[in-house]
Every structure is written in structure tokens, then in C-alpha cells.
Amino acid sequence: MNQFAIAIHGGAGTILKKDITSSQEAAYIKGLEEALQAGYAILEKGGTALAAITAATLSLEDCSLFNAGKGSVFTKTGTHEMDAAIMDGKTLGAGAVAGVNSVKNPVELAIAIMQKSEHVLLSGDGALQFAIQQGLKIEDETYFFSQFRYDQWQLVKNEDTVALDHNIHVEKKFGTVGAVACDAFGNLAAATSTGGMTNKNYNRIGDTPIIGAGTYANNQTCAISCTGHGELFLKAVAAYDVSCLMEYKGMTLQEAMEMVTLNKLVKINGEGGMVGADAKGNTALVFNSEGMYRAMQNSKGEKQIAIYR
């Protein structure tokens, strides 16, 4: 039996301890703990990496603290546009959705696209129609409303700028959630989900739903889920670059993730981070920002839940 492991994230950025109350910190830790346990419990019972990352990502999407699913931020027009992606490292099967609204759990739509369509990426109204056709849970706008997100949007809605998740005067956080896992059979999988940037305009899409940029999995190398300034992660093809460094340069997971996150992205001012797993059950959680909501657990008994550096 292979060592199995899971790693998750709930966003990265300028997350300073002085800006978060002890009760807020406890709430984030609880959200991460619940998602970690949802995924790890599946691996522990011999379940697949794909099932584990799905469970973990669903948990994060259902927690309003994180910018995905229920906690998604407001767009320029006061609506919600969500992106998500999933990839199976065993088959290289992938599914992704961009700019969709009303779908309670975008990661489930990404799975449906991977398993029940001939496509990889669907967007907008077409993606919503496919979700309805597949019987996925649809919610009205009130489900996605939170006073916290609304207040954020009010601060910038009359400006011609986008804002990164959370209070823009205090905290610069890239709100995305994601999970990677290696199961007992050595199979890898990755998932990422986001509500994007507060006040985003023109149906902006970041790296999350782009296979190879924000999400990637291949049993021969790694599973990666990114969180950061999407435009820069897109330009860097960040997730796939980690895989390439492992495949062609023979780097370890940790070495490859550090090369991309702490070197290549830094050179182009790409702030953020990523979580990764390899087929031996190793995990890595690397970021170049002040903090990253993150957690990991493996069958060796190692476990970590953290926010700051």
C-alpha cells in the first residue's frame, strides 16, 4: 500500500496576524479542519484521490469564509461568477467551468464536465444549462449573499479597479480554494475553485479553471492547486511548470514548487502560492506571500493546519 496524503488551501496573500481577531482565526482553522477531515476520511477508507479532493473542495465551497461557492465575491454588476477545475492524474481526464452563476458547487459541475461531456471547459450560460441538465443543485442569488462580501464590494464598486479578496484596506488575499491528494494506490488528483476578484468586470477569468495554469494532475509527476494573482499564474503556466520541472529536470516536488513559486513567479511579481502532492504521498505547501490558509495530513501521522508563515 502506498503512503496516502491530502493537502488543501483556502487562499493566499497578505494575511497578517495583527489584522485577524482570535475568533476569526479560529473560524478559519475550523473551516480548514473540516475540509481536511472530509478528504482524509475518504483516503483512510481506501477511497480515491479524486473522491477525496472533491469532498475537501465541496466543504470549502460550502464555507462562506472562503471565496468559492457560497463565499464567492461580488462582480462589478453585483452578481457572482465562479470558476472551478478538476483533474484526474491517473487518466489525465479534466473538467473545468468558467464564469458560471447559480451553481451551488462549481467543483461538481467541473466533475460532470469531465465525466459526462466530451469537453474540458464550459463557460457562462452554457455551463449553467449543462449543470441544470445534469441535475446539479442550483441556488438563487440570496444563497451567495454575505454582508462581509457585500461590504467589500461597496468599497470599490464605483472605482474602475478590481480588488483582491477581503478588506482591501487591511488585507490583500487571493481567494481561491483547492485540494490535492495521493491515494493508497498512488493515484493523484487536483481541484481548484474560486469566486474570482471583487468588482471584476468583462467576465474576467483567472488561472483557476485553466488546466496547467491553476490546476494540474499527472500520476507521473504531481498534483497541483494554485492560489494567487491569476493573471501572473496564467502567464507562468504555473501548475504545469511544476510537473515539467519534475519530469524533465528530475526535481522533487518540493524543489519544483519552490522554483516556480519562490523564483519564477517572484520575478514577474506573481504573488500567491500552491499546494502539491506526488505519487509517493509527499506533499508540499509553498507560498511567496505573507500567508496562505493551508492544511495537510498523511498516513505517516503528520498533520498541519496553518495560516501565517
CATH classification at residue 198: 3.60.20.30
Question: If you average pLDDT over residues 197-211, what whole number do you get?
Answer: 92
Distance CA 95, CA 245 (A): 24
Give CA 96 to chain center in angstroms.
12
In the numeric block, the cell 508540499 is attached to: 284
182 closest CA partner among 276, 295, 41, 84? 276
Q: Residue 234 is inside which H or E element, if any?
A: helix 230-236
Residue 206, amino acid: G
Phi (first) and psi of residue 203, to 5 degrees = 55, 40
| Residue 59: partners with Cβ closer than 8 Å, 6 or more residues away | 31, 34, 35, 38, 39
Task: Tell me the CB-side half-sphere exposure of residue 38, using CA atoms within 13 A.
Answer: 22
Tens-place pLDDT, residues 260-280: 999 999 999 999 999 999 999
Tens-place pLDDT, residues 288-299: 999 999 999 999
> Taking the CB of residue 151, how many other CB atoms lie within 10 A of it?
11
- Among the listed ranges 50-59, 137-146, 153-162, which one has the minimum average pLDDT value? 153-162
* 176 catalytically annotated: yes
The boundaries of the domain holding residue 207 are: 5-308
Tens-place pLDDT, residues 82-130: 999 999 999 999 999 999 999 999 999 999 999 999 999 999 999 999 9
Distance CA 196, CA 211 (A): 16
Catalytic residue among 48, 57, 176, 227: 176
- Among the listed ranges 58-72, 88-102, 146-160, 212-226, which one has the minimum average pLDDT value? 146-160
Grid coordinates representing 196 are: 474570482
pLDDT at 216: 99
**Contact by Cβ (8 Å): 96, 146:** no
| Residue 243: partners with Cβ closer than 8 Å, 6 or more residues away | 216, 218, 221, 222, 224, 256
Identify which has the larger pLDDT, 113 or 164. 113
Q: How many domains does the chain have?
A: 1
Q: pLDDT category, 305, cuts 50, 70, 90? A: very high
Helices 49-61/22-44 angle, 10° precision = 160
Residue 217 in 3-state DSSP?
A: strand
